[in-house]
Amino acid sequence: MSLLDRRRLLTSGAAAAVFAASGMAGLALPKRGGLLRAGLSGGSPADTWDGRRHRGLFMIAAAQGAVFDTLTEVAPDGSLRGELATQWQASADARVWTLDLRRDVVFHNGKSFSAEDVIASLRLHLDPKAASPARPLVAMITDMRATASHQVRFKLPRGNADFPYLLADYHLLMYPAGQIAQAMAEGIGTGLYRVECFEPGQRFIGRRVQNHYREGQAGWFDEVDFTALDSPAARRTALQERRIDVADHLSDPRLQDDNIRVQRVTGNQHLALSVSAQLHSATGGHLARAVKHGIDRQLVLDTVFDGFGRLASDSPIGPANRYYHKALEPLQFDADRARYHLKKAKIDQASLAIILSDTSPVATDVVGAVLRNLASDTGLHLQPKRGEAHDQSADLNLSLCYGRVTEDWMFSAGSPDGPLRVSGAGHQQRFVQLQTAARSEMDSAKRAAYYDEMQLIARNNGAMIAPVFVDFSHAMRRRLASPERIGNLWPLDNARLAERWWMA
């Protein structure tokens, strides 16, 4: 069954239970018990249980992967299955979506889950002061209402064949209506693990909820213990000293021995260097073009990421996406053209501030290698420092981004006002037209043509530079077991290792 056929089948929700039940088909049955200890990147002293603020892996794995639930869940094979939703129906034009909700779900404080919790939780993201990355996803809903105690109906201005996928975004956590402030303060969700200890940016300990609605299907550990370790060296040492069982973003094959193995997964993770909105507009897109020509992509892939990945064409749509434009060639490394565009931008020999996100797993030495490569022949003087992702005071932002399972999800999260914005009114208008058309188009060939052109526009006129796709990698102790196929949407099995893995 093709991915498109699978999506069409799942619009009725009829197959959701089948996919949920078959996730472990053909594999040894997981064992219940034990303690999972993970060393994770992306922790921050500012971490909270407010899903609108989640960026780094530490909180994604603790929140969506353990304490809270979303309405839908992306399975390891990229298909969609229900989490708090049991099934969904679409109108013929895919503008109206009706979701049935589970009736056997209880929050950790004893409150029963219902449709009012869905509406209250999604409306949180419409608050402009919260600056939620999921705001574009929720803002496309023109009306949402409870049609029964456990049924919600969403209306969209235009059809969206991928709408149920968007509800799996890790920011869209479900909170108890009327108690949201308390839930965000204490970590009150419907997930498999209850909060026992939470130290922002340092540690999370969760204990398995008894008689959970997913009993016997997921959540095999009795307890999970996540430690925030920003440095790859710190994660490596903790693993070798047997203080943790698994660590993200470790790819060195020399780590492997009788006790440790390294896993790599091809997904949509990409190195992203984006030009600030103000500077992109002021330079007419020439600065971004200069940077695109000023990076030797193969050198970055080989020297920074040990060759584990592939070259990218400045679009976040990657090899795990159905409509990835495989034939789109990256812009070639050309120092002369880079200098030409810098002069057109009137900032040649300029000094630019570049921010590395505090929650990014990219190490400082990796940043240095990329910047040295960029600056060596172009005359740019770059001043790197740590800060918040997409810091408005920075000229450039550098991070390692995960990507999304569908093209519209990725473009909705980033365009036209985010890092995927394009220069020139005509190009931006065309980009939005294509996105709107592709969103509701059910013909696969037409959809492919729309997304091909969008990726071309992103390459030639986008403010984001994506030089390489990078394989996900993690190192784990051999006493830890995982399914044969693991998710490639986010690191560590879509950050759901607490739910899906077990002790061998």
pLDDT higher than 50, residue 436: yes
* Spatial separation of the C-alpha atoms in residues 137 and 142, rounded to whole Å: 11
Are 72 and 171 found together in one domain?
Answer: yes
Alpha-carbon distance values, 385 to 52, 229, 357, 358 (Å): 24, 19, 9, 9
Q: What is the pLDDT of residues 146-178, one digit of tens each?
A: 999 999 999 999 899 899 999 999 999 999 999
Residues 95 and 238 in one domain: yes
pLDDT of residue 111: 97
Question: What CA–CA distance (Å, rounded) separates 210 from 344?
Answer: 64
Residues facing 480 on adjacent strands = 503
Q: Judge whether residue 3 has pLDDT over 70.
A: no
The confidence score (pLDDT) of residue 295 equals 87
Q: How confident is the model at residue 366 (pLDDT cuts 50, 70, 90)?
A: low
Q: Are residues 76 and 155 in the same domain?
A: yes
Same domain (yes/no): 125, 175: yes
Average pLDDT over residues 327-340: 92
Q: What is the three-class DSSP state of 95?
A: coil
Predicted pLDDT of residue 23: 44
The count of structural domains within the chain is 2
Shared domain for 288 and 386, answered yes or no, is yes
Whole-angstrom distance, CA of residue 160 vs CA of residue 97: 9
Asked, as a colleague might, if the bond just before 419 is cis with ω within 30 of 0, I would say no
Give kind and range of the element (H or E) at residue 373: helix 364-375
Q: What integer is the mean pLDDT of 418-431?
A: 78
308 and 471 in contact (C-beta within 8 Å)? yes
Q: Cα separation of 243 and 246, whole Å?
A: 9
Question: Chain-wide mean pLDDT for the chain?
Answer: 87
The rounded distance, in Å, linking the Cα atoms of 485 and 501 is 11
Task: Decide: 198 and 184 in contact? Cβ < 8 Å.
Answer: no
Q: Is 465 exposed, middle or buried (0-12, 13-18, 19+ CB in 10 A)?
A: buried
33, pLDDT greater than 60: yes
CA distance 231 to 363: 7
CATH number where 65 lies: 3.40.190.10
Of 24-38, 193-207, 219-233, 379-393, the least confident: 379-393
Clarify whether residues 450 and 496 are in a common domain.
no
Query: CA of 22: how far to CAs of 182, 192, 211, 277, 399, in Å?
Result: 36, 19, 21, 45, 35
Quick one: pLDDT at residue 309? 94
Place of tokens 């091909």: 452
**Of 341 and 182, which is predicted with more confidence?**
182
Tell me, what CATH number does 364's domain have?
3.10.105.10
Same domain assignment for residues 135 and 248? yes
User: Which of 12-21, 175-184, 462-471 has the largest mean confidence?
Assistant: 175-184
In sequence order, what are the beta bridge partners of 355? 385, 397
Q: What angle do the packed helices 297-304 and 364-375 form, to 10 degrees?
A: 150
Indicate if 287 and 424 belong to the same structural domain.
yes
Does position 387 have pLDDT exceeding 70, yes or no?
no
Percent of the chain whose predicted confidence (pLDDT) is above 70: 86
pLDDT given at position 389: 56
Over its C-alpha atoms, the chain yields an Rg (Å, rounded) of: 22
Q: Is the dihedral of CA 184, 168, 195, 113 positive or negative?
A: positive
CA-to-CA separations, 392 to 59, 276, 278, 412, 464, in angstroms, rounded: 23, 7, 9, 20, 15
Which pLDDT belongs to residue 365?
Answer: 61
Same domain assignment for residues 175 and 189: yes
Q: Is the pLDDT of residue 237 over 90?
A: yes
Helix axes 444-461, 407-414, angle to 10 degrees: 40
pLDDT band at residue 139 using 50, 70 and 90 as cut-offs = very high
Calculate ∠ Cα 414-415-417, nearest 5°: 100
Asked if pLDDT for residue 417 goes beyond 70, the answer is: no
More confident residue, 423 or 137: 137
Do 383 and 484 lie in a common domain?
Answer: no
Whether residues 303 and 428 share a domain: the answer is yes
Q: Kindly state the helix (H) or strand (E) to which residue 396 belongs, with its residue range.
A: strand 396-401
pLDDT tens per residue across span 53-111: 998 999 999 999 999 999 999 999 989 999 999 999 999 999 999 999 999 999 999 99
pLDDT of residue 352: 77
pLDDT of residue 195: 98
Q: Would you say 99 and 204 are in contact if contact means Cβ atoms under 8 Å apart?
A: no
Model confidence pLDDT, tens digit, residues 11-29 = 444 334 333 433 444 456 7
Range of the domain at 305: 270-470
Whether residue 498 is found in the same domain as residue 397? no
Question: 318: which DSSP letter?
Answer: -
